[in-house]
Amino acid sequence: MNLAGRPAIILETDRLLVRSWIETDRNLFREINADAKVMEFFAFRRSHEEADALLDKVNGSIQDTGLGFYALELKATAEPIGFCGLSLANLPDIFPVETVEIGWRLATRFWGHGYVTEAARALLDFAFVEKRMAAVLAFAVAANHRSTGVMERIGMSRCPQMDFDHPRVPDSHPQLRRHVVYAAVSDAMKPA
């Protein structure tokens, strides 16, 4: 699948465009999926071919459902820096099939500038206002304090009763199995 030459803009923040992927984003996506620091809490790195296949799948989901892990682009330089998005959790033995998660990854050279926090806050607002979702979850390996820190900064609440052992983590990486869960709930769903 070729990625569109003109991206669909999902939303804008002060510094970022949150958009669909385009062909020229492939190298950034490959970089992220092969970087040992970015993928520290995953049991694998992806080859160029595997990253390309995943990117095509991600962009297809965005085109089909409007949900997915959207590209993040710096407005000031028009360069892609990573992704942040809303996607079906796709863990039917753990969560109901309609469960939506928020997730992110950035190339390491863009860490420490608050880009993920900025994008994730805007996407939670988008989820609740535009998409009228009742709740959004986020989950990460328990030791992934960078990601859980973002979850806390964007106002998500820890839900220890929902923690789980990820079924797709191989036995060779038991330290990556346990995942902690955070949730954000729409104001419409909160008690008055």
The tally of CA atoms less than 13 A away on the side-chain side of residue 188 is 10
Q: Return the higher-pLDDT residue of 63 and 159.
A: 159
Q: What is the pLDDT of residues 85-114, one digit of tens each?
A: 999 999 999 999 999 999 999 999 999 999
CATH at 132 = 3.40.630.30
**Whether residue 1 has pLDDT greater than 60:** no
Does the residue 2 lie in any domain? no
pLDDT at 63: 81
Does the residue 149 lie in any domain? yes
Does the residue 3 lie in any domain? no
Domain span including residue 146 = 9-189
Q: From CA 166, how far away is CA 186, in angstroms rounded?
A: 26
Tell me, what DSSP letter sits at residue 149? H
**Whether residue 190 has pLDDT greater than 70:** no
Does the residue 109 lie in any domain? yes
pTM (2 d.p.): 0.92
Number of domain units in the chain: 1
